[in-house]
Structure 1
Amino acid sequence: MKGRPMETAGELERADGERLAWRRVAGSGPTLVWLGGFRSEMSGTKAQALADWALARGRGFLRFDYLGHGESTGDFAAGTIGRWREDALAAVDALTEGPLVLVGSSMGGWLAMLAALARPERVQALVLIAPAADFTEALMKPEIPPEGVAALDREGVWLRPSLYGDPYPITARLLQEGKDWSVLDGRPIPISAPIRILQGGEDPDVPWRHALRLVEALDGPDVVFTLIRDGDHRLSRDQDIARLIAEVEGLTAPTA
């Protein structure tokens, strides 16, 4: 008799000696991979709900923390979009096999698309929650106040106030390097896998019109955009989690 699925944990060492903390459920079907947001952790509400779903259904699931996030090592201020993209690719390459369904929240939505572009042969589908594509240039940079611009010019870093906790560092390098990974550059985004987007209408961080701009840029034939009119950025209410699980179940159902 097979035992109940269990979630295991470990660390993945990168070439520079930093270590990515991860948790994994071995199971059937395409492996679900959670890509968290900017300054988020793999222990967050949505990631934990997906882990519980995977354990209950015997499905494969991987979650991890980027450099400088959560249980992983490294300095958050040293992170960039390119580095966190490399973390995501390192995790899926070392810790998963076969087809993948990427679930990305906020910045993780941008990274999920970058991972899909880098591993098109493996990515079967994507679920994006308030996807913050190009957020460094399109959303963050325009809102930096004059004192922040001065700090970036003078010191290369600005401590940005947060609605969710203490101020956090924004570096000039993060803003500049983010341009290198733009997906909203006027060209179609060549992702052919099915994509489901969940977006809150009351999101103060990623306006729904920004997410709709992404929908218009996607080149694939199977893109569904769902606007949750009273939803916020996190979409972590019970009804939001239920909607997320429904999307995941629809995309990961085993095929005959």
Structure 2
Amino acid sequence: MTAPAYLDTPSGRRLAYHRLPGKGPGVVFLGGFMSDMEGTKARHLETWARGCGRSFLRFDYSGHGQSSGAFADGCIGDWAQDAGAALSALTEGPQVLVGSSMGGWIALLLARALPERVVGMVGIAAAPDFTEDSMWAGFARDQRAALMADGRIEIPSGYADSPYTITRRLIEEGRENLVLRDPLRLPFPVRLLQGTADEDVEMTTALRLLAHIDCADARLTLVKGADHRFSEPADLALVEQAITEILPD
């Protein structure tokens, strides 16, 4: 495994990244909650970009992977800030954002904050507002009480042996970054990919996002039997196709 380079952000965090030079518009991969840049989708898309001669960036949010900080200390706003710093410092010109799960939410926040730097978006099981609409909405009364009283709770993870630590700050700060409550104009092509066997992000989330965004060129593809990882060869081919479809000529 090649050692990453590091970016020191204005907020004082140190982000690990891998950057591939090439032609633009480039592609930026935005990972999911507790995921890192060494995952199947990120590595696959880097290989694809290399074959196309296209620039590509993958990185770890603070508290994730090889970046600085503890995961439990972070929140959506921090990770969106990390992504904005990486986009600004490590890429040139407009980019296609590929957001997986939470990365889809981060991509929407970047598009809202830095619209001039985004030329297209691909959401893979995009999970906007999940801290409110999935986590908080799904917590039992005793879990909510414990979270408010103790500042954190632990919930089982379907992807690791250790549980997720969910903090009161994650939930409360997430409410400051919701994107499905107010108009959201996306003046570029958007492609959303969603598996029907996804147990973490429901199809209704993808449908709600598609209906909510103000976008002249937005499409949702439902893939029968695909799960949340969306990492089977056929799934990855669909991601490649979606990126190619929205890249400017």
User: TM-score, with normalisation over the residues of structure 2?
Assistant: 0.95
| Alpha-carbon distance in 2 for matches of 1:123, 1:163 | 32
| Alpha-carbon distance in 2 for matches of 1:181, 1:33 | 21
Match of 1:3 in 2: none
Question: Is the aligned partner of 1:69 residue 2:46?
Answer: no
SS at match of 2:148: helix
Structure 1 stretches of at least 4 aligned residues deviating more than 4 Å after TM superposition: none
The equivalent position to 1:56 in structure 2, one of 28, 40, 51, is: 51
User: TM-score, with normalisation over the residues of structure 1?
Assistant: 0.93
**Which amino acid in the other structure matches residue 180 of structure 2?**
L
Question: Is the aligned partner of 1:246 residue 2:241?
Answer: yes
**What pairs up with 1:28-107 in 2 under 5 angstroms?**
28-107=23-102
State the percentage of identical aligned residues: 48
SS at match of 2:80: helix
Matched-pair contact (CA < 8 Å) for 2:24–2:93: no
Q: Flag structure 2 segments of 5+ consecutive residues without an equivalent.
A: none
| Alpha-carbon distance in 2 for matches of 1:45, 1:207 | 22
| Alpha-carbon distance in 2 for matches of 1:226, 1:126 | 14
| Alpha-carbon distance in 1 for matches of 2:153, 2:3 | 37
Match of 1:174 in 2: 170
Match of 1:122 in 2: 117
| Alpha-carbon distance in 2 for matches of 1:176, 1:17 | 22
By how many angstroms is 1:147 displaced?
Answer: 4.0
SS at match of 2:214: coil
Question: Is the aligned partner of 1:227 residue 2:189?
Answer: no
* Cα distance per residue 1:144-201 (max 9 Å; x no partner): 234422321221000111111110210001001111111111x331111100000011
| Alpha-carbon distance in 2 for matches of 1:84, 1:17 | 13
| Deviating more after overlay: 242-251 vs 24-33 | 242-251
CA 1:207–1:94: 2 relative to 1, 3 Å = same
By how many angstroms is 1:16 displaced?
Answer: 4.5
CA 1:33–1:238: 2 relative to 1, 3 Å = same
SS at match of 1:240: helix
State the superposition RMSD in angstroms. 1.4
**Which amino acid in the other structure matches residue 114 of structure 2?**
R
| Pairs aligned (count) | 247
Matched-pair contact (CA < 8 Å) for 1:20–1:67: yes
**Which amino acid in the other structure matches residue 155 of structure 1?**
D
